[in-house]
């Protein structure tokens, strides 16, 4: 999401004649795009600002701007706390950046953290400045209104709004014509995508199918699906198109219905598992990944065991695993105590990570002997004789280079694996 925002910012600034540089020491203006989702992310930005201070000492004309969620959350407070900052711009204010920069040029500091109910940056063609030339992200909606108790996103990214279907399809088509072979449709909760025009409403499954029909050689991925809104219609749409990747990110957060209720997730353990059953029936070769938060307010050992047992039941291919970090002004911060001690959070997280490693390893083991179509993204990090890409299930596959290039789709038979990578040979 953040990366996608940075591509929009670069586009807006290039339009006004600014150029970007890879060498930070060459820059006249530096923007830091921020995330507020966990305290840790904000602490890292604070450290980065110390470094900016040292750059500004060498070049007093350097302009430093802070963008995104942290700008939204802390607003003018940041200008007082971080003297190094000249510009603060929230996630719906990027179009205003050229004006904010002019304001700074005429002396002073500039702030815009107005959230909008409409801004989707639909007409802005993002600049793919750090791309492999093969895969790209397309933002299809912004904001979130689910108000999960632990989460700061609804406060910092505002109301949910979907982007015009035609502009999404145009962007995907342009990417394909420019050599891209995979797009990932992005939103906090893609299942609630909805665009109404001339009395006709397009939902996410229909958008997905339209994107898939641009060209059979263009792979389509999407993230994130909220389990409470994962419809049969979406699963069936996925099953109808070879180029809609068989991989779904379905954050569970906890395996305990009691915790899920306190998290305000809108589903129980049983309802989540029912969705997994439906998914396995309609899409038997689909990989499933998830997000898990451990140590949420009042989480007991029994709740924790339920998370572990749910992980075993689902057999996730991959998981992003976090210890709960209280975020100011969220429902949980107002209502509950962050009362699971740090050492307990740490131990539970360790158990979750260890189990996931085992599950990833077991899942990858079952792929040995299978042949997958691998979309080549580039050379392997370890060896220039090997190419690296992903299969439809979003697993990284490394294989010996045999004259293929990025963007090619190569059938690869798997003969070895680790818990993170499949290895094989082109067939």
Count of C-beta atoms within a 10 Å radius of residue 323: 19
When the beta carbons of 291 and 373 are compared against ligand 5AD, the nearer one is: 291
Minimum distance of ligand SF4 from residue 296's CB (angstroms): 12
For the chain, the C-alpha Rg in angstroms (whole number) is 22
Determine if 8 is a binding residue for ligand SF4 (CB under 6 A): no
Q: Near ligand SF4 by CB under 6 A, which window of 77-85, 146-154, 212-220, 395-403?
A: 146-154
Closest chain position to ligand 5AD (CB): 291
HSE-up of residue 107 (Cα within 13 Å, Cβ side)? 0
Minimum distance of ligand SF4 from residue 188's CB (angstroms): 4
- Contact map string, positions 96 to 135, toward ligand SF4, x by CB under 6 A: ----------------------------------------
Beta strands in 152-207 (DSSP E): 161-162, 182-186, 194-197, 200-203
When the beta carbons of 71 and 144 are compared against ligand SF4, the nearer one is: 144
DSSP assignment letter at 163: P
Minimum distance of ligand SF4 from residue 408's CB (angstroms): 35
When the beta carbons of 241 and 258 are compared against ligand 5AD, the nearer one is: 258
Q: Which does 322 bind (CB under 5 to 8 A by kind): ligand SF4, ligand 5AD, none?
A: ligand 5AD
Cα(363)–Cα(259) distance, rounded to whole angstroms? 28
Cα(252)–Cα(321) distance, rounded to whole angstroms? 11
Q: What value, to the nearest 5°, has the Cα angle with vertex 290 and ends 130 and 207?
A: 65
Determine if 144 is a binding residue for ligand SF4 (CB under 6 A): yes
Query: Could you give the C-alpha distances from 313 to 219, 273, 361, in angstroms and in order?
Result: 29, 8, 15
- Contact map string, positions 149 to 178, toward ligand SF4, x by CB under 6 A: --x-xx------------------------
Per the CB < 8 A criterion, the answer to whether 154 and 226 are in contact is: no
DSSP assignment letter at 164: P
Q: Which does 51 bind (CB under 5 to 8 A by kind): ligand SF4, ligand 5AD, none?
A: none
Structure tokens at 379: 């050379």
Q: Near ligand SF4 by CB under 6 A, which window of 142-150, 358-366, 375-383, 415-423?
A: 142-150
Q: Which does 226 bind (CB under 5 to 8 A by kind): ligand SF4, ligand 5AD, none?
A: ligand SF4
Nearest in space to 100 (alpha carbons), one of 45, 176, 161, 18 = 18
Under the rule (CB under 6 A), what is the footprint of ligand 5AD? 37-38, 150-151, 251, 253, 291, 293, 322, 324-325, 327
Residue count of the chain: 427
**Residues whose CB falls within 8 Å of the CB of residue 304, separated by 6 or more in sequence, listed in order:** 256, 294, 348, 351
Q: Near ligand SF4 by CB under 6 A, which window of 102-110, 145-153, 270-278, 309-317?
A: 145-153
Q: Near ligand SF4 by CB under 6 A, which window of 148-156, 195-203, 237-245, 404-412?
A: 148-156
Cα(288)–Cα(279) distance, rounded to whole angstroms? 9
When the beta carbons of 154 and 158 are compared against ligand SF4, the nearer one is: 154
**Residues whose CB falls within 8 Å of the CB of residue 399, separated by 6 or more in sequence, listed in order:** 374, 386, 387, 410, 412, 423, 424, 425, 426
Chain positions contacting ligand SF4, by CB under 6 A: 144, 146-148, 151, 153-154, 188-189, 226
């Amino acid at each position: 999401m953040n990366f996608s925002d940075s591509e929009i910012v670069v586009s807006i600034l290039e339009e006004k004649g600014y150029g970007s540089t890879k060498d930070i020491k060459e820059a006249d203006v530096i923007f830091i795009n921020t995330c507020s989702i966990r305290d840790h992310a904000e602490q890292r930005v604070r450290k980065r600002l110390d470094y900016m201070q040292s750059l500004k000492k060498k070049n007093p004309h350097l302009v430093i701007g802070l963008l995104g969620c942290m700008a939204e959350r802390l607003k003018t407070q940041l200008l007082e706390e971080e003297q190094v900052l000249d510009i603060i711009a929230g996630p719906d204010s990027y179009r205003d950046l050229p004006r904010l920069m002019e304001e700074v040029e005429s002396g002073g500091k500039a702030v815009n953290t107005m959230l909008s109910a409409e801004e989707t940056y639909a007409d802005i063609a993002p600049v793919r400045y750090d791309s492999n030339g093969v895969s790209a992200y397309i933002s299809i909606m912004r904001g979130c209104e689910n108000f999960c108790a632990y989460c700061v996103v609804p406060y910092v990214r505002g109301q949910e709004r979907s982007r015009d279907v035609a502009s999404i399809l145009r962007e995907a088509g342009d990417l394909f014509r420019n050599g891209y072979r995979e797009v990932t449709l992005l939103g906090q909760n893609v299942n609630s995508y909805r665009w109404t025009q001339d009395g006709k409403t397009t939902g996410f499954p229909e958008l997905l199918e339209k994107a898939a029909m641009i060209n059979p050689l263009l792979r389509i991925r999407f993230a994130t699906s909220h389990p409470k809104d994962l419809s049969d219609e979406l699963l069936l749409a996925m099953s109808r198109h070879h180029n809609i990747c068989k991989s779904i990110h379905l954050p569970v957060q906890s395996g305990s219905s009691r915790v899920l209720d306190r998290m305000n997730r809108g589903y129980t353990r049983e309802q989540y598992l029912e969705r997994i059953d439906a998914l396995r029936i309609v899409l038997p070769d689909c990989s499933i990944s998830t997000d898990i938060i451990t140590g949420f307010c009042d989480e007991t050992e029994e709740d924790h065991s339920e998370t572990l047992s749910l992980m075993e039941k689902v057999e996730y291919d991959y998981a992003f695993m976090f210890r709960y970090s209280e975020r100011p002004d969220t429902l949980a911060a107002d209502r509950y105590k962050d009362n699971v001690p740090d050492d307990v959070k740490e131990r539970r997280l360790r158990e979750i990570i260890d189990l996931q490693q085992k599950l990833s390893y077991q899942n990858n083991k079952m792929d040995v002997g299978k042949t997958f179509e691998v979309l080549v993204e580039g050379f392997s990090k370890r060896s220039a004789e090997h190419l690296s890409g992903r299969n439809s299930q979003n697993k990284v596959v490394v294989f010996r280079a045999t004259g293929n290039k990025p963007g090619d789709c190569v059938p690869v038979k798997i003969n070895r694996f680790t818990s993170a990578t499949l290895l094989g040979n082109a067939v």
